[in-house]
């Protein structure tokens, strides 16, 4: 008897294709993302892997040059098409939730009323709303539904209504603020950032007190959420805080969470955005951010190392920042050892930092000479670099030439530690 060819509608044909499974969870992917190694994973699975401090690709165990993930829209469409065809089997093979049910707009509106109304029902309503906006689909239908129901205004008004002291003293109110911040973060990609700014930033660019409280005393996830929102706001407005030193100290503490790459990346981003303005740079120096950056630098990957060096360059433009750098015993050794080892941009930041330090104080020049700055500077002049960097490099060589030549050997191996692939 001739065998019948099975189609996608048959039960036997409904085993999930291997390429549609996440290599970590071994389940059908709903939101596939690709790493720099070319391997694709479910977003939440690889996110948990990276947030756990891992810096390798789980499938290949190769060291990751970048922790960025890129949505794989082509694979996602193929998975959704496969799910639609497999649905003809009925209950024999469920669609694993790849196609989400429509968002109940009436329920969202009811939740908005609960959040804006009775304080007793707020926490439960916020938690339910948070589960709704965790929409893994690229269409972000859930977020748009909440936004259209006035979610941004309701959440920001709620956060603005709390005082800093009340959030810090009450665990219940702090939890409400943390849930509100989590919902607001999910709405950032679909909302008008000007609307967000009007709700969270008061007169003179002062951020509402409840957000400051979450940044200072909230959980790690909540502090990461706040830092992400602040990085968005800081691109459009000069932000200030009621207790700026405390906020920047919290960002410095977040930087030290080196087991959580997302925490380090987000804190560097928000610090860069905030420190564009001199007043915030002064507060950051006072809060002790400079030594944290110097100590963290040897452990950072390329993109984060460039951000950290850019921040230090900004700090060194001020006398307070230069003093904070020179107060650290390892500062010069760290800078000189990272010449030509990270990227061209990182080397240019290092040259700028050294130029600012050595121009300002003889002690900095002596420390640079002791750290062996002459050889990498001389090597840099033989390489292609920006005109401004070349000029600063030449100025530095003039400053160190009195004693620098005595340190140079004619042996080519003298330069070997500074010659790496950038």
The predicted structure's pLDDT at residue 34: 92
Beta bridge partners of 56: 63
Give start-end residues of each CATH 1.25.10.10 domain in the chain: 103-287, 288-422
pLDDT in tens, the chain (422 residues): 343 334 433 433 457 888 898 988 888 888 899 998 899 998 888 888 887 778 888 888 888 888 888 889 889 889 888 887 776 433 333 444 444 456 778 888 899 998 888 677 888 989 889 888 876 455 578 888 888 888 888 998 888 887 654 555 567 788 889 999 999 988 888 887 787 888 888 777 778 888 888 888 888 889 999 999 998 888 878 888 888 899 999 999 999 887 788 889 899 999 999 998 899 999 999 999 999 999 999 988 888 999 999 999 999 999 999 999 999 988 999 998 888 888 888 989 999 999 999 888 888 888 888 888 878 887 887 777 788 888 888 888 888 765 444 454 444 444 445 444 44
Give start-end residues of each CATH 3.30.40.10 domain in the chain: 11-89
Q: Give the long-range contacts of residues 99-107, CB within 8 A, separation 24 or more.
A: 100/135, 100/136, 100/137, 100/141, 100/142, 102/141, 103/132, 103/135, 103/141, 103/142, 103/145, 105/145, 105/148, 105/149
User: For the purposes of burial, counting CB atoms within 10 Å of the CB of 319, is it exposed (0-12), middle (13-18) or buried (19 or more)?
Assistant: exposed
CA distances from 365 to 182, 355, 358, 368, 414 (A): 48, 9, 5, 5, 21
DSSP 149-184: TTHHHHHHHHHHHS-HHHHHH-HHHHHHHHHHHHHH
Beta bridge partners of 32: 42
Both structure tokens of 362 = 């003889």
Of residues 371, 378, 379, 367, the one with CA closest to residue 401 = 378
Selected from 3.40.50.300, 3.50.50.60, 3.30.40.10, 3.10.105.10, the CATH number assigned to the domain covering 11-89 reads 3.30.40.10
Which CATH fold would you assign to the domain 103-287?
A: 1.25.10
Residue in the block written with tokens 């100590």: 295
User: For the purposes of burial, counting CB atoms within 10 Å of the CB of 189, is it exposed (0-12), middle (13-18) or buried (19 or more)?
Assistant: exposed
Cβ neighbours around 138 below 10 Å, total: 11
Angle, alpha carbons 297-303-305 (nearest 5°)? 15
In three-state secondary structure terms, 21 is strand
> Would you put residue 331 in left (φ > 0), alpha (ψ -120 to 50) or beta?
alpha
Both structure tokens of 8 = 């996608």
CATH 1.25.10.10 fits 288-422, yes or no: yes
Q: Residue 33: in which H helix or E strand, if any?
A: strand 32-34
> How far is the first Cα of the chain from the last one, in angstroms, to the nearest whole number?
66
This model's pTM is above 0.75: no
Of residues 144, 137, 103, 139, the one with CA closest to residue 29 = 137
Of residues 285, 365, 286, the one with CA closest to residue 317 = 285
In three-state secondary structure terms, 207 is strand
Of residues 157, 134, 158, the one with CA closest to residue 146 = 134
Output the CA torsion sign for 233, 237, 240, 244.
positive
């Amino acid at each position: 008897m001739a065998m019948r060819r099975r189609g996608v509608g048959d039960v036997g044909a409904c085993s999930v294709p291997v390429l549609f499974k996440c290599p970590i969870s071994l389940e059908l992917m709903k939101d596939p993302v690709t790493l720099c190694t070319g391997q694709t994973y479910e977003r939440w699975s690889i996110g948990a892997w990276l947030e756990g401090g891992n810096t390798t690709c789980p499938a290949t165990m190769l060291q990751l040059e970048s922790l960025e993930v890129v949505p794989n829209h082509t694979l996602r469409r193929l998975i959704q098409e496969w799910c639609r065809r497999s649905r003809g089997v009925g209950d024999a093979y469920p669609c694993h939730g790849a196609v989400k049910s429509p968002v109940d707009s009436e329920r969202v509106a009811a939740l908005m009323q609960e959040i804006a109304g009775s304080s007793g029902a707020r926490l439960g309503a916020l938690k339910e709303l948070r589960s709704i906006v965790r929409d893994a689909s690229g269409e972000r239908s859930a977020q748009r539904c909440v936004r259209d129901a006035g979610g941004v205004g309701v959440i920001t008004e709620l956060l603005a209504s709390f005082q800093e002291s009340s959030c810090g003293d009450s665990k219940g109110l702090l939890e409400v603020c943390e849930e509100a911040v989590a919902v607001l973060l999910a709405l950032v990609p679909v909302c008008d950032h000007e609307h967000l700014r009007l709700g969270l930033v008061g007169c003179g660019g002062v951020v509402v007190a409840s957000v400051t409280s979450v940044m200072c005393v909230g959980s790690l996830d909540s502090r990461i959420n706040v830092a992400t929102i602040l990085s968005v706001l800081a691109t459009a407005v000069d932000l200030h805080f009621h207790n700026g030193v405390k906020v920047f100290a919290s960002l410095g503490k977040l930087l030290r969470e080196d087991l959580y790459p997302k925490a380090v990346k987000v804190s560097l981003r928000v610090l860069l955005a905030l420190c564009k303005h001199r007043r915030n740079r002064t507060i950051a120096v006072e809060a002790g951010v400079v030594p944290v950056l110097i100590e963290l630098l040897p452990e950072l990957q390329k993109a984060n190392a460039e951000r950290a060096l850019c921040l230090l360059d900004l700090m060194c433009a001020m006398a307070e920042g230069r003093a904070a750098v020179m107060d650290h015993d390892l500062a010069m050794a760290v800078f000189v050892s990272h010449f030509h080892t990270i990227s061209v941009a990182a080397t240019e930041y290092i040259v700028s930092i050294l130029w600012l330090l050595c121009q300002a104080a003889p002690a900095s020049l002596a420390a640079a000479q002791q750290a062996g700055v002459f050889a990498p500077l001389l090597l840099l002049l033989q390489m292609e670099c920006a005109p401004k960097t070349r000029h600063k490099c030449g100025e530095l060589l003039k400053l160190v030439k009195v004693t620098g030549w005595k340190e140079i050997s004619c042996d080519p191996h003298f330069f070997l530690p500074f010659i790496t692939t950038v």
